[in-house]
Amino acid sequence: MKKTFIVFIALAICALSSCNPGKESIYKESRITMDTLVTITVSSSSDTVAKAAVDKAFREIDKLGKLLNFFAGDSEVTLINKSAGSMPVTVSKETLDVIERALHVADKTEGAFDISIGPVSSLWDFHTKTMPEEDALKEKLKLVSYKNVVIDRKNSTVFLKKKGMMIDLGGIAKGYAADRAAEVLKNSGIKSGIVAAAGDIRTFGTRPDGSAWNIGIKNPRQTGDDDEILAVIRLSDQAISTSGDYERYFIKNGIRYHHILDPKTGRPAYGCRSVSVITKEGVFTDAFSTGVFVLGPRRGMEILKKMGFDGIIVDSDGNILMTEGIKGKIEVKGNKP
pLDDT of 40 strictly over 90: yes
Helices (H) and strands (E) in the chain, counts: 8, 17
Contact 77, 167 (CB under 8 A): yes
- Which strand (E) or helix (H) includes residue 278? strand 272-279
25-33 sheet: strands from edge to edge: 25-33, 36-44, 192-197, 200-204, 239-244, 272-279, 310-315, 320-322
Distance CA 18, CA 35 (A): 33
- Average pLDDT over every residue of 50-70: 98
| pLDDT, tens digit, 9 for 90 and up, residues 250-278 | 999 999 999 999 999 999 999 999 999 99
- Average pLDDT over every residue of 81-103: 98
pLDDT band at 226 (very low <50, low <70, confident <90, very high): low
Distance CA 56, CA 180 (A): 11
Determine what percent of the chain is predicted with pLDDT higher than 90: 84
Question: Residue 328: what pLDDT?
Answer: 81
Q: pTM for the whole thing?
A: 0.91
Contact 67, 94 (CB under 8 A): yes
- Domains by residue range for the chain, with CATH: 6-64+175-332 (3.10.520.10), 76-160 (1.10.3980.10)
